[in-house]
Amino acid sequence: MKNTANPSRELPTLEQLETELDREKYKKRYRRVLRSTVYTLVVVAAVAVLVATIWMPVLQIYGASMAPTLDEGDIVISVKGSDFAPGDLVAFYMGNKILVKRCIAGPGQWVDIDVEGNVYVDGNLLDEPYLTEKSLGDCDIDLPYQVPDNRYFCMGDHRSTSVDSRSTTVGCVSGEQIVGKIVFRVWPIADFGILK
């Protein structure tokens, strides 16, 4: 019988075998770490989506009704809840849209607005440092106006252009319509921070 083994072919040395074994162990460890990292990222992403959907919806601002507080394109975070105070920024459903306005008065309170755009709640002039101009705006409700039970009177900060609770088109916002209170701006980075 002939020896078919190639005489020029050498057997690997012990050092070469150890190097190859180490390389195979590294590949297995790398795959395991990669798989673990991917699983962790998927779980974190799923939890983030769940939190964003259920407790802290993330919203993008469209339009100029909240200028100068919020500009078109701003991205904000809202927090779900049921306790809203005058001055809070709130997001609420209006048809198939989400609007963002400022809570002015709560259930049972009286709202009055004079021709210069000064807002009175229960006879007291509302301090509104967030406004750059006042305006009566698009108002077709009878003033003074009492806010119904479980409803909130909300207005945009750009009073001359905002369509809000002063109009029967929007009216007062029910507690069930409210998505949450806007608390934080995340975009643009230059304006990142807590909103008031």
Kindly give, in sequence order, each residue whose CB lies less than 8 Å from that of residue 97, ignoring residues fewer than 6 positions away: none
The 10s digit of each residue's pLDDT in 57-68 is 677 777 778 878
Per-residue pLDDT, 53: 56
More confident residue, 45 or 151: 151
Find residue 185's DSSP bridge partners. 76, 193
Alpha-carbon distance 156 to 65, whole Å?
5
Find residue 79's DSSP bridge partners. 181
Q: How far is CA 52 from CA 22, 46, 63, 80, 135, in A?
A: 44, 10, 23, 10, 35
Alpha-carbon distance 49 to 58, whole Å?
10
Alpha-carbon distance 75 to 61, whole Å?
6
The 10s digit of each residue's pLDDT in 84-139 is 788 888 888 888 888 888 999 989 999 998 988 899 999 899 888 888 888 888 88
pTM above 0.85, yes or no: no
Find residue 119's DSSP bridge partners. 113
Confidence grade of residue 153 (pLDDT, cut at 50, 70, 90): very high
Question: What percent of the chain is helix, strand and coil (3-state, nearest 5)?
Answer: 20, 25, 50
